[in-house]
Structure formats: structure tokens, C-alpha cells
Amino acid sequence: MNKQTLSFQAEVQQLLHLVTHALYSNREIFLRELISNASDASDKLRFEALADASLMEGGAPLAIRLSFDKAARTLTVSDNGIGMSEEEAVANLGTIAKSGTREFMAKLSGDQQHDAQLIGQFGVGFYSGFIVADRITVETRRAGRPAAEGVRWTSEGTGSFEVESIERAERGTDVILHLREDAAEYLDRWRLAGIVSKYSDHIALPIQMRKQRWDADKSEYVLEDEWETVNTASALWTRPKSEITEEQYHAFYRSISHDAEAPLAYSHNRVEGRSEYTQLLFVPSKAPFDLWNRERAAGVKLYVRRVFIMDEAQALLPAYLRFVRGVIDSNDLPLNVSRELLQESRDVKAIREGSTKRVLSMLEELAEQQTDKYAGFWREFGVVLKEGMGEDFANRERLAKLLRFASTLHDEGVSLQDYVARMKEGQKAIYVLTAETLPAAKASPQLEVFRRKGIEVLLLTDRVDEWMLSFLTEFDGKEIKSVAKGAVDLGELQDAEEKQRAEQAGEALKPVVERLKTALADKAKDVRVSSRLVESPACLVADEGEMSGHLARLLKQAGQLKADDAARVRPVLEINAEHALVQRLSRDEAHFDDLAHVLFDQAVLAEGGQLEDAAAYVRRVTALLS
């Protein structure tokens, strides 16, 4: 055949511009695509050789080779797979978005498709070479054809390509990229080996490059004639669990996470059904520095039939599990044309739900069987896990059982089950208190009556807790109530004599309460006699359904609550009828207003708030003391 110049069968200039400038988000992806094509060609040869062994031509074992020539500025990806005839080269390389792999797959039955395990379904991966090359040459020969039927295909990615016959002794294909000046980085062995390690490490075929040694005379690295394999050619997650040691699991975890520490737990499973996939998921032992950034890349790598697709697979796990590391390898997931991004589908949803349940199962096993390990996990990742209460309704009950808190009895590790098991006879609710810090929570005057009666209160000190409580409203049929909201009603835990004494105190202090309402009209929404105070003179509470002082401060710090709005969030002042300072209010007419404001400001300080006018508070206290 003489050399022919043919036109592409599509609006090539526009489409190639899209491929090289918009379809791929990362230039180095081109090497993954070409290696995947080479792997496909070898899979085709293996499959067809089952029916015709002569196609193997008694040659060398199947392999993929990468070579480069700095002087000529070329990078070559070679395989000894099925190769192409002239007709196939024109049809497959001359028509954009026409894939030989896809056509091949269409001819196979369902079982054969499963065995062939081919990927390149869109037919644009080859053209990703134009991301870095201004010309591509393909030299190929179809297995089983004579050497004289070799084919050379050449194109500059414009509107045409050339095809000519060549002599080629070896079956298979060489893809030769004539690199642009700005792509010189791909003429470096270390760079190429790094890309192979990142994207194609687990391709089943050996990917080979020439060995490199340092030449002291030339003061540079030189390539030797000997080839070496630069990929592992074995996907750990595809092997039976019985063949993998714990040390191998740990080594694999370190390789994908760059974490020096061993994982806290891991789970390796093959899921079969309508969606078939393998998951190998790890829970780290330490939190990364950027864990609190919800926009950070997820830690699960996505493969489709052992070909790396992405390492930021946020679609496969919810944001509150962003600390999980691992691999998910699907037999078939819907990808976009560049094979980079997941498309929303039932398969993606099924993998997401299945992987979420698997991680929660791992955590449940830790919590039940290795409490010390789970305590360590909670200290590192508990705050992030709490986000799931508002994001994952389907697993909210499971998540609630995994929560751990401090309480008035223990500084950490209290589960809701533990709390319910220790509840007083007649206690109807689970009591909680939110605060800035654990010492501040323990010192809160709102806890005094609960301490006196020996009622445990959970102490919540993470910034996410106030938000979480809007979703965590009950557990095991018990209402979760904040001790800082509403009037305290301990029901059966408060005897009749206490209730009667509280009512009598309220009647006796009615005049004082009314005067306090007037004096503090711009600060307090209401004033009432407290049934929760034992030692402190006063405390601030919020009405049921309203924003607590702690939440108002958090929102203000985050810039989500303006000063004017914060001023309208007025608390209720509760006073202790038996405290000397409150009793003095009814006797000291001359200093009533000063005492009233001091009482309110002290309540603000006691709950961890800041005074709007600290100087005024100091003046009042100084005047009263002197």
C-alpha cells in the first residue's frame, strides 16, 4: 500500500481541541490512557488466542514498555498485544469516539464480557496524547498477519492523517508521541515511573522501562539496555483475604495514605449483586491536619477494573467519613467521556451506601470489642463523625450509638447506652449541657440541682454539638433535653415538699422579680425564681425552642449572626430565692439597680459569655464593695 492521506470522520479540529484542552483536568492522564489501551490490546490477544493459539506467534510474554528519546523529543508506549490491520487502524484511529474495544465488546456474550474485562469504551483515550504531543505516529501489525502487513499511522491532530504500509516483524503497537516543547518533563524516567506508580501500578501486565544508572564521566544518568518492571502488576485488593497478611495490609495502607502509623482498623470485602465491586477500606489512627476542611479531597481511590480513575472520589463516601482511606474497585461504573468523573447512577448510590455501612460496621466492632482503640478513634475523629447526625438520616440510629461524651460522672467515653443504663428511677429524659470547654461546663450553675440529686448530665463542648442536637432529639425513646433551656421539671425526681417550697419562694419574691424585669428590660427576656440553683445566685437560660447563649456566641464568632440580631437574642434570668445576694435585693433599695445588673453580668460570666460593658460592671462592683 502506498502512503494515503485521509480525513478524520468527525469535526476533528473542534473535537481534538476539546480533548486536549477541556476533557482532561490533568495533563499526565494521557499516559494512563495509553497504558490502558495497551493493556486492552493484550487482553484482546489473550482472549482471541483461546480460539487460535497461533496468534501468540510463540513470542515473548505480554508486556508494556515505555521508552523515550530526549534528542528526538519522543515518548513511545509499546505493547505486544493484538495490534491492528490497515482497516482497523483507519477505522479505530481515524474516527473520533469510535472505539475498537467497544466494538469488540459488543460482539461478546455476557460471560465473555466478564472474562475480557476491557475498559476503553469511548474511543477518545488515544487522542489524549495530543495534550502533550503535536504529532503522533502509530506503528502496528495485527497478530497472525505477515510482517509485510505492518501499518504506520501519522497525524498532527488537525484535519487529516496519513496511513502507509511498513515492514514490522513484531506483532503489537508502538504509539510514538512527538512532544511539544512545554512537555519536556515527560522525557524523564523518574517522572514517567511516578505516573505509572500513581495511575497504572496495578495493571495486570508488567510495565517496563530501561534501567538507569549514574555516569560519573558524563555527570548524568544514562539508560541501560536491560529492562525492569516499574509497576507491581498485582492489585492487593483482588487477592483472596486468606492470602494476605496483616503486614501486607499495613504496607498497602502506608503506600496509599503516606501515613507512618498503622491503621486502626481495616475491612476487605467483595460485594456481589446488581453492583459488583471490591472495597478495601482503612480507618487511620491519627487525624490529618486538614481533617476539619470539608472541601478536602476524600481519601478513597476509585478504580474501574483495576485501572485507576481518581483519588478524590467524594461520591463514594459521605463527607463525615472523609477520614477513611482505601480503594474501591468496580466492575463497571458510569464515567464521563474522559473516564475521570463519576456520573450519578444507582450503581454509584449502591456503592456509597454499601461502603458507608461497612465503615460503620468497622467502628461498631471497635466500640464493642476494643474500647481502648475506639476511645483513641473518638479523640481523633469524633467531631467529624458527629456531622453525620445531620447528614445521614438513614444511619442516624447507628451513628447515635457510636457517639461518646463527657459527663458529670466521667470526663470522656460516655455513650448514650451507658447513660440510659444509669438513669435514675423515674427519670424521663437524657439531660445535656453545651459549653465552650469542659471546665466551663462542669462549673455551670445550671447543673447544681442535678448534682444535688445525683442525676448525670452529658457535657458537650465541641462547636458542632449545638448543631448536632437539632437532629439528635431522642434516644431509645428518651427525650434529649438541654439543662440550659426552659424551666426545670424533674417530674418524679422532685418531691412534693420541694415543689411547694419553690412555689412559696416565688410568691414571696414577686415584687423583686417585677422590679428586676423593669431594671433589666433591655437585657433579659424574663425573670423568674429558679428551681435548678443551689449555690449560685443566678443563671441564664433560654426558652424551649429558642437559641441558647452558647449557640448565639458561636454564630456570632462565625459571622453568621449580626450584632443587631445577637442583641435581640435575650435570655431568661433565673434567680436563687435562698441566696444572700438575691435576698439583699429586697432590702437594699438604694443599690437595687446596681445589684440587678451585677447579678445579670455574673450570670453571663458564669456561662462563659462576655460582658458588653465590662467597665460598667467593674464600676458597680467597686461601688458595692466600698
Count of CB atoms situated within 10 Å of the CB of 20: 19
Q: Are residues 464 and 383 in contact, defined by beta-carbon separation less than 8 angstroms?
A: yes
- The letter for the amino acid at 40 is D
What pLDDT, on a 0 to 100 scale, did the predictor assign at position 63? 95
Q: What is the pLDDT of residue 408?
A: 95
For every residue of 85-109, DSSP letters joined together read -HHHHHHHHSSTT--HHHHHHHTS-
pLDDT above 90 (res 457)? yes
Decide if pLDDT at 333 tops 80.
no
The rounded distance, in Å, linking the Cα atoms of 342 and 188 is 32
Quick check: helix, strand or coil at residue 266?
Answer: strand
Provide mean pLDDT across the span 429-446.
Answer: 91
Rounded Cα distance, 494 and 503, in Å: 13
**Average of per-residue pLDDT across 35-42:** 88
Label each residue of 448-513 as H, E or C.
HHHHHCCCCCEEECCCCHHHHHCCCCEECCEEEEECCECCCCCHHHCCHHHHHHHHHHHHHCHHHH
CA pair distance 78, 376, nearest whole angstrom: 50
* Distance of alpha carbon 113 from alpha carbon 98, whole angstroms: 19
> What nine digits make up the cell of 295?
472541601
What is the pLDDT at residue 374?
A: 96
**Is 309 a residue whose pLDDT tops 90?**
no
**pTM score, two decimals?**
0.70
Name the 3-class secondary structure at 42: helix
Domain regions of the chain by residue span: 4-215, 243-354+370-378, 398-490, 493-625
CA–CA gap between residue 466 and residue 434 (Å, rounded): 7
SS3 15: helix
Mean pLDDT along residues 520-526: 88
Which residues face 478 on adjacent strands? 475
Examine the pLDDT at 129 and tell me if it is beyond 70: yes
Is the model more confident about 279 or about 106? 279
Q: What is the CATH number of domain 4-215?
A: 3.30.565.10
Whole-number Å distance between alpha carbons of 607 and 433: 11
pLDDT at 365: 96
* Nine cell digits for residue 328: 474501591
pLDDT digits (tens, 9 = 90+) for 556-599: 666 655 655 555 678 888 888 888 888 888 888 888 998 999 99
Q: Which CATH class is domain 243-354+370-378?
A: alpha beta
Cell triple for residue 564?
A: 443587631
Q: Would the pLDDT of 115 be above 80?
A: no
The answer on pLDDT for 490 being more than 80 is: no
Residues with Cβ within 8 Å of 36's Cβ and at least 6 positions away in sequence, in order, are 119, 120, 125, 200, 203, 307
- Bridge partners of 279, per DSSP, are 269, 328
CA atoms within 13 A on the CB side of 612: 10
pLDDT at 626: 77
> Which has the minimum average pLDDT: 350-359, 443-452, 483-492?
483-492
Comparing 422 with 349, the larger pLDDT belongs to: 422
- Whether the predicted pLDDT of 430 surpasses 90: yes
Q: Is 420 buried (19+), middle (13-18) or exposed (0-12) by CB count in 10 A?
A: middle
CA 445 to chain centre: 40
Are the beta carbons of 203 and 66 closer than 8 angstroms? no
Structure confidence at residue 23 (pLDDT): 59
Give the rounded percent of residues in the chain with a pLDDT score beyond 90. 39
Q: Does residue 492 or residue 212 have the better pLDDT?
A: 212
Beta carbons within 8 Å of 424's beta carbon, 6+ residues apart: 453, 454, 455, 493
Distances (CA, A) of 121 to 64, 523, 595: 20, 68, 80
**Which one-letter amino acid corresponds to residue 275?**
S
Alpha-carbon distance values, 78 to 32, 65, 93, 382 (Å) = 13, 5, 16, 50
For residue 92, is pLDDT > 70?
yes
Q: Is-contact 399 389, C-beta < 8 A?
A: yes
User: Environment class of residue 521 by beta-carbon count within 10 Å: exposed (0-12), middle (13-18) or buried (19+)?
Assistant: exposed
Cβ-contact 306, 203 below 8 angstroms: yes
**Is the confidence at residue 461, as pLDDT, over 70?**
yes
CA–CA distances in Å: residue 168 to residues 1, 41, 149: 14, 17, 7
Q: Mean pLDDT in the chain?
A: 83
CATH number at 398-490: 3.40.50.11260
Q: Worst-scoring range by mean pLDDT, 129-143, 340-354, 543-557, 590-604?
A: 543-557
Q: How many CB atoms lie within 10 A of CB 149?
A: 18
Pairing of the two strands 572-575 and 526-529: parallel
Mean pLDDT of 471-490: 85
Q: Does pLDDT of 5 surpass 90? A: no
What are the cell numbers at 326? 482505601
Report d(CA 78, CA 366) in Å as an integer.
48
Q: In what order do the strands lie in the sheet with 572-575?
A: 526-529, 572-575, 538-541
Cα gap 266→241, rounded to integer Å = 12
Per the CB < 8 A criterion, the answer to whether 388 and 374 are in contact is no
**Mean pLDDT of the 34-62 span:** 87
- Average pLDDT (515-526) is 89
Residue bearing the bigger pLDDT, 21 or 360: 360
- CATH superfamily label, 493-625: Heat shock protein 90, C-terminal domain (1.20.120.790)
Interatomic CA distance for residues 78 and 68, integer angstroms? 11
Report residue 234's pLDDT band, with 50, 70 and 90 as the boundaries. Answer: confident
- When pLDDT is averaged across residues 242-255 and rounded to a whole number, the result is 87
CA-CA distance, 133 to 178, in Å (whole number)?
Answer: 5
Strands 307-310 vs 299-304: parallel, antiparallel or unpaired: antiparallel
The alpha carbons of the chain give a radius of gyration, in whole angstroms, of 35
Q: Tell me what pLDDT residue 118 has.
A: 37
For residue 500, the cross-strand partners are none
